[in-house]
Amino acid sequence: MPLSGAIELTDNRYGKAENRVVRFFKQDARHEIRDVNVTTTLRGDFAEAYTEGDQRHVLPTDTQKHMTFVYAQRGIETIEGYALGLAAHFVDSVEPVTSARIDVEAYAWQRISIDGVEHDHSWSRLGPEVRTAAVTVSGDGTWVVGGIKDLVVLKSTGSEFNGFLVDEFTTLPPTDDRVLATSLVVNWRFADTTGFDWDEVFAGIRATLLELFATTYSKALQQTLYAMGTAVLERFPMLAEIRLSAPNKHHFDYNLGQFGIENKGEVFWAADRPYGSIHATLTRSDAPEAGPAWEA
């Protein structure tokens, strides 16, 4: 049935995406580096920019860009702390802004070592994994989501997949030994923003994810994600919720038998597409409301 109701601007937001900020600390000969990609997103009283083309309330995205650098100058001790300060600036100092979200990607660098001695001001990039933070500040509160993405992991055994539902279109043979590989995207919502060290918590969560991936005998990637998520929430009581997304990066046994060659589960073809796609959200029963924390 055709609709005829009035057309309304029911949501809007804007900002400056992917400000590539590099901050050094040169207080002494041993420099420190923070290498981040920062996106600002503002909500507020901006409807007339859309409906009337009236910019009176619109802080230019160019100004938002400036602020990502100004706050970098003030310090990036942790990316969460930096994002909290930057978000608060927009809400506190720019009248039409009611809510600010700051997304940060942090790229890791390791000092170049020469004969075991770390260099003072030279680094090489370490990846592929990237640490992330998403901070939202509004009049109603503050939300922090930490995360890691592109954490690529693989195990060569300790993984099976069988006992699954079989319908008339199912041809997959069950297996009791397969390669399990994925590229994790994990985000965790903090229940509080004080009383702990952001970097320590990040390092602990990362270690926990890796540990559980390695040590969980996997009956499915689903089970592995659940084990990871449970362990993280158990060990880090400042967390309310965790979301895990994982492509099942399929590794197929290569058929060498057709050439009279035995493949003892050692030679695989790593496929690109399609891939399985598994998602889990774990939440504590006493978690505070998520509010806008997950609004990308």
Q: Which residues are annotated as a binding site for 5-hydroxyisourate?
A: 61-62, 161, 178, 222, 248
Q: Which of residues 131-150 bind its own copies (CB under 8 A)?
A: none
Catalytic status, residue 61: yes
- Span near its own copies by CB under 8 A; candidates 16-24, 79-87, 132-140, 197-205: 16-24
Does 116 interact with its own copies (rule: CB under 8 A)? Answer: no
Return phi, psi of residue 51, to 5°: -80, -30
Question: Is there a contact between 36 and 21 (Cβ–Cβ < 8 Å)?
Answer: yes
Cβ distance to its own copies smaller for residue 134 or 282: 282
Angle separating helix axes 221-235 and 198-215, nearest 10 degrees: 140
Minimum separation from the CB atom of position 146 to its own copies (A): 15
Q: Which of 98, 199, 226, 291 binds its own copies (CB under 8 A)?
A: 226
- Span near its own copies by CB under 8 A; candidates 80-88, 136-144, 160-168, 197-205: 160-168
Q: Which of 77, 141, 197, 267 binds its own copies (CB under 8 A)?
A: 267
Buried b (16+ CB within 10 A) or exposed e, 98-111: bbbbbbbbbbebeb
Question: Is there a contact between 221 and 276 (Cβ–Cβ < 8 Å)?
Answer: yes
What are the angstrom distances between the C-alpha of 109 and each of 38, 52, 123, 157, 163? 17, 47, 6, 31, 44
What distance in Å separates the CA atoms of residue 140 and residue 264, rounded to the nearest whole number? 59
Minimum separation from the CB atom of position 184 to its own copies (A): 9
Q: Which residues are annotated as a binding site for urate?
A: 61-62, 161, 178, 222, 248
- Span near its own copies by CB under 8 A; candidates 26-34, 80-88, 138-146, 197-205: 26-34
- In the three-class reduction of DSSP (H, G, I as helix; E, B as strand; rest coil), residue 91 is classed as helix
Catalytic status, residue 16: yes
- Span near its own copies by CB under 8 A; candidates 79-87, 93-101, 131-139, 197-205: 93-101
What are the angstrom distances between the C-alpha of 165 and each of 92, 161, 224, 245? 55, 11, 19, 22
Does 176 interact with its own copies (rule: CB under 8 A)? Answer: no
- Determine the size of the site formed for its own copies (CB under 8 A): 148
What are the angstrom distances between the C-alpha of 223 and each of 13, 147, 177, 243, 278? 37, 20, 15, 14, 10
Q: Which of 98, 142, 193, 223 binds its own copies (CB under 8 A)?
A: 223
Cβ distance to its own copies smaller for residue 139 or 273: 273
Minimum separation from the CB atom of position 228 to its own copies (A): 11
Q: Which residues are annotated as a binding site?
A: 61-62, 161, 178, 222, 248
Q: Quote the tokens at residue 174.
A: 């069950």
Residues identified as active-site? 16, 61, 250
